[in-house]
């Protein structure tokens, strides 16, 4: 079909290609199967006729075409939580028919179970929707076997990471724990490891998330009248498969920019309890300002502020012995400005310190530990803050303090006199404190999920007349053959064999049981433990000033600052312990022997 190009309202598609454009309409048929309410809620099954014989049927479509009449043997549909649903069946092919087996892969497949009492299908409920995954042929048999999948992996993979995150509310993610570049499917699996829930596709092909915890009121109840004889089984998990304590070691390393603030007050005249004129009379020296600054810098300090005690700016009478004037001191402003009688300075020592936080986190279920003893797992994780080179950081601070540059360093700890003050380095978003907290919270969520998962490994199995409503999103109660159990369906297999007439659903319930229903399992909100804080810390010792300024001395001034306090050095590493209670939701589970 072609189009009048000149009529196009915009130029960018006015190309030769547009002349070959195709017009079409996309259509999607809607088929609504309306069934009695009792069939839809599962309380009635087409495979259980009660007092009358059940007349059921299975309907199979391949590539939109009904192939029910070609089915040979059983149709088996198996669904397991957080796994792809699979279906297996075989089709009869007339002898001599030439088929291309490879062309069957990818064909759409739909399977329903229906009531056939009226001779035509009614009350049809879907039990499978997917595609052919693996066709198998054996030449000469006249059949082609089809292994079909609901394509769960590809469906999730096609969603994209953002959609996956939206699909799993309450899940957690940390790039320090998981691969930030993982595919959508791997991303889903990563997030699912932090969430006690299963992600799978419904029989109709819709993605759904089902919590592991069984519903308070079961969707379906099967008693002795409904359960097939001697089909109930109990399989308890080994103690070794349990986990009730997960110890997490998480290391977080990051830089802190620190500043020690010293105040130096040096007034030699006051110390000698004398005055200017007597200081001069006794032949003592004046302090060179340059020598003071050099002494501070030589000691490694940076002058933040300094005030000089200046020489007098008026003539002074120098007293002699007996009170008679011995002479006079006359000011010489250009030269006097190079000297002082003392000073008061604020000096900083700036450095970068790498801080290692070692978080020791325990995630446990106390009731389980009390019941079966401690069964421990360990997990490890680490994150290092990405920051500039520490030497370069210190150099930048130094240059800025000395006013060599006016460009402020990325981080600068304000000087607090008498204390060590610190600020955290500004890290990249994926290595900062928020990222570290997210990593720890993710690890705690994984640990709690592992503990829950290990405690729902008990299994109760039973077979009932095929019921398409039974699925891995349902909570089922079994009350038969001495077993009373309620749990979420972990796996269901529908076996529909038209040859034998048998239509059975095999149910596997995941049972969480350790201390008994009604036992309280406290739960802690997952909030990362607080880390170390920046700010003021240790009180600093006072610096010392030695000046050889008396008459006849060499005038050398030496300023000595105390070293970094041991307590301050110790802040380079910190062990932080925290504990979280991991909850369980226990299921009804009693066995009468």
**For binding to another protein (CB under 8 A), which residues are involved?**
3, 8-10, 13, 15, 17-18, 20-37, 39-41, 64, 108, 110, 121-126, 129-131, 151, 154-155, 157-160, 163, 204-207
As a whole number of angstroms, the distance between CA 589 and CA 513 comes to 7
Closest distance of CB 197 from another protein, Å = 17
Beta partners for residue 424, in sequence order: 256
Q: How far is CA 392 from CA 398, 410, 500, in A?
A: 10, 11, 81
* Least distance to another protein, CB of residue 452, Å: 27
Nearer to another protein, 260 or 473 (CB): 473
**Do 306 and 323 meet the contact criterion of CB atoms below 8 Å apart?**
no
Question: H/E element holding 303?
Answer: strand 302-309
Quote the least distance from Cβ 112 to another protein, whole Å.
Answer: 8
**Smallest distance from another protein to CB 68, Å:** 14
- Closest to another protein by CB, 125 vs 257, is 125
Pick 10 or 138: Cβ nearer another protein = 10
Task: Indicate the helix (H) or strand (E) that contains 122.
Answer: strand 122-137
Q: How far apart are CA 56 and CA 114, in angstroms?
A: 6
Q: Which residue spans within 38-102 are E strands per DSSP? A: 56-62, 65-66, 71-80, 86-92
Residue closer to another protein (CB basis): 4 or 315? 4
* Minimum separation from the CB atom of position 242 to another protein (A): 37
Between vectors from CA 271 to CA 266 and to CA 275, what angle results, nearest 5°?
Answer: 105
DSSP state, residue 37:
H
Overall residue count recorded for the chain in this entry: 593
Closest by CA to 471, choosing from 77, 156, 195, is 77
Q: With contact defined as beta carbons under 8 Å apart, do 309 and 341 qualify? A: yes
Residue nearer to another protein on the CB measure, 31 or 239: 31
**Alpha-carbon separation of residue 1 from 10, 16, 106, 456 (angstroms):** 20, 13, 30, 61
Closest to another protein by CB, 37 vs 53, is 37
Give the SS3 label for residue 570. helix
Smallest gap from Cβ 218 to another protein, in A, equals 17
Between β-strands 376-384 and 245-266, what pairing exists: parallel, antiparallel or unpaired? parallel
User: What is the closest distance, in whole angstroms, from the C-beta atom of residue 29 to another protein in the complex?
Assistant: 4
Q: What is the DSSP letter of 76?
A: E
Nearer to another protein, 41 or 523 (CB): 41
Q: Which is nearer to another protein, 20 or 224 (CB)?
A: 20
Nearer to another protein by Cβ, of 22 and 391: the residue is 22
Q: What is the closest distance, in whole angstroms, from the C-beta atom of residue 40 to another protein in the complex?
A: 4
Nearer to another protein, 41 or 553 (CB): 41
Q: How far apart are CA 128 and CA 149, in angstroms?
A: 9
Name the phi and psi angles at 170, rounded to 5: 90, -10
- CB closer to another protein, 42 vs 409: 42
Q: How far is the CB of 56 from another protein (least distance, A)?
A: 16
CB 147 → another protein: shortest distance, Å?
16
CA–chain centroid gap for 267, Å, is 59
Q: What Rg, from alpha-carbon coordinates, does the chain have? A: 41
Strand ranges, E, within 159-244: 197-201, 207-211, 220-223, 233-235
Give the max Cα distance, the chain. Answer: 143
Q: How far is the CB of 36 from another protein (least distance, A)?
A: 6
């Amino acid at each position: 079909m072609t189009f009048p190009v000149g009529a196009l309202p915009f130029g960018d598609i006015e190309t030769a290609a547009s002349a070959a454009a195709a017009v079409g309409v996309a259509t999607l048929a809607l088929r609504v199967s309306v069934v009695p309410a009792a069939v839809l809620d599962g309380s009635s099954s087409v495979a259980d006729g009660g007092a009358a014989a059940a007349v059921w049927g299975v309907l199979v479509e391949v590539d939109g075409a009904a192939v029910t009449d070609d089915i040979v043997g059983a149709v088996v549909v198996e669904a397991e939580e957080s796994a792809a649903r699979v279906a297996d069946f075989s089709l009869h092919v007339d002898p001599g028919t030439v088929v291309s087996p490879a062309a069957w892969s990818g064909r759409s497949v739909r399977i329903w179970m229906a009531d056939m009492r009226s001779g035509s299908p009614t009350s049809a409920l879907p039990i499978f929707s997917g595609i052919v995954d693996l066709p198998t042929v054996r030449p000469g048999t006249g059949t082609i076997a089809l292994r079909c999948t609901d394509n769960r992996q590809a469906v999730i993979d096609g969603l994209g990471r953002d959609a996956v995150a939206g699909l799993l509310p309450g899940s957690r993610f940390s790039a320090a724990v998981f691969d930030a570049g993982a595919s959508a499917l791997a991303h889903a699996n990563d997030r699912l490891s932090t969430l006690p829930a299963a992600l799978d596709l419904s029989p109709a092909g819709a993605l759904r998330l089902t919590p592991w915890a069984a519903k308070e009121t079961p969707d379906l109840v099967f008693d002795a009248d409904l359960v097939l004889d001697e089909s109930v089984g109990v399989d308890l998990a080994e103690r070794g498969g349990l986990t009730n304590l997960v110890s997490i070691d998480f290391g977080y390393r990051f830089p802190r920019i620190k500043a020690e603030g010293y105040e130096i007050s040096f007034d030699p005249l006051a110390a000698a309890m004398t005055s200017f004129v007597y200081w001069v009379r006794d032949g003592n020296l004046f302090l060179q300002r340059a020598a003071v600054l050099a002494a501070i810098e030589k000691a490694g300090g940076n002058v933040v502020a300094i005030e000089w005690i200046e020489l007098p700016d008026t003539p002074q009478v120098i007293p002699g012995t007996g009170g008679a004037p011995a002479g006079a001191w006359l000011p010489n402003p250009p030269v006097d400005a190079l000297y002082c009688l003392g000073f008061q300075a604020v000096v900083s020592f700036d450095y970068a310190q790498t801080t290692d936080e070692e978080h020791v986190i325990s995630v446990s279920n106390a009731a389980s530990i009390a019941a079966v003893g401690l069964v421990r797992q360990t997990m490890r994780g680490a994150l290092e803050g990405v920051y500039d080179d520490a030497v370069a950081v210190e150099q930048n601070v130094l240059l800025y303090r000395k006013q060599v540059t006016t460009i402020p360093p990325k981080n600068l700890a304000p000087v607090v006199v008498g204390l060590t003050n610190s600020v955290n380095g500004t890290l990249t978003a994926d290595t900062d404190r928020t990222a570290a907290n997210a990593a720890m919270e993710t690890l705690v969520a994984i640990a709690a999920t592992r503990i829950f998962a290990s405690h729902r490994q008990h299994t109760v199995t039973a077979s009932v007349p095929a019921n398409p409503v039974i699925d891995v999103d349902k909570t089922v109660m079994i009350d038969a053959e001495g077993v009373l159990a309620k749990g979420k369906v972990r796996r269901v297999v529908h076996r529909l064999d038209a040859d034998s007439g048998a239509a059975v659903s095999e149910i596997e319930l995941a049972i969480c049981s350790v201390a008994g229903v009604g036992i309280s399992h406290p739960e802690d909100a997952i909030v990362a433990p607080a880390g170390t804080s920046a700010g003021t810390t240790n009180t600093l010792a006072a610096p010392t000033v030695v000046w050889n300024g008396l008459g006849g001395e060499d005038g050398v001034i030496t300023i000595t600052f105390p070293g970094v306090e041991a307590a301050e050095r110790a802040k380079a590493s910190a062990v932080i312990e925290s504990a979280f209670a991991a909850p369980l939701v226990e299921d009804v589970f009693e066995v009468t022997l």
